[in-house]
Amino acid sequence: MVWAVVDNLGQKQTYKQSLGMATLDTEAVARSAFEEIGRRFPSLNMVENHGEPVEISITMPVQSGLAHEVWLCLQNGDELGFSVGHFHIEFFPCTKPDRVRRYIDAVSGFLCGEYRIVEHYRGTKCYRAQLQKPEGDHWRTIANWATIWIPPFFKKTLKELRNIG
């Protein structure tokens, strides 16, 4: 059995009845988030990829209005993924409405050009990437990606990824 409920924030949530327990249908939640992003950016092409090792995979290729390829996904059952360049972040569990709101905000902020991603390099190796939003006259980091291995001897450089398209 499948049914829908509107939560106290006006978000429609879909539930499945399984083994006597009600669980949030995470694929419906993810599709709803992707649809909201699509509504906010109707001129951008979103392509669903099939056969990838995640539940749902959406690519937004470089196009007029989008300077960098964006990848959106539902993975590991309840993680909403967002990736640009070397930056990758998951928002989970997607069963919590505040996580979905933060995900849509992060993706939308980047797509509209308000937010930026700063990649940190040593030589040619990216070891950290940050999603940042403007706050007054400076940038505040709202999400991080990092690798464990950092080459110690090369010069540090930064690269900004911003959708000014």
- In 3D space, the residue among 75, 57, 68, 54 whose CA is nearest the CA of residue 119 turns out to be 68
112-125 per-position pLDDT tens digit: 999 999 999 988 88
138 and 92, same structural domain? no
Q: Are residues 108 and 121 in the same domain?
A: no
Judge if 44 and 90 occupy the same domain: yes
Domain assignment of residue 4, yes or no:
no
Select from 113, 129, 153 the last residue of a domain: 113
Band (pLDDT 50/70/90 cuts) for residue 49 is very high
pLDDT given for residue 1 in this prediction: 40
Domains held by the chain: number:
2
Same domain, 107 and 32: yes
Percentage of the chain modeled with pLDDT above 70: 84
71 and 132: one domain? no
pLDDT in tens, 4-26: 444 444 445 544 444 443 446 99
Q: Determine, yes or no, domain membership for 157.
A: yes
Surface-to-core class of residue 95, CB atoms within 10 Å of its CB (0-12 exposed, 13-18 middle, 19+ buried): middle
Give me the domain span that covers residue 86. 26-113
Which tokens is 44 given?
A: 């951008």
69 occurs within a structural domain: yes
DSSP per-residue letters across 43-76: TS--EEE-SSSSSEEEEE-SBTTBSS-EEEEEET
Same domain, 73 and 41: yes
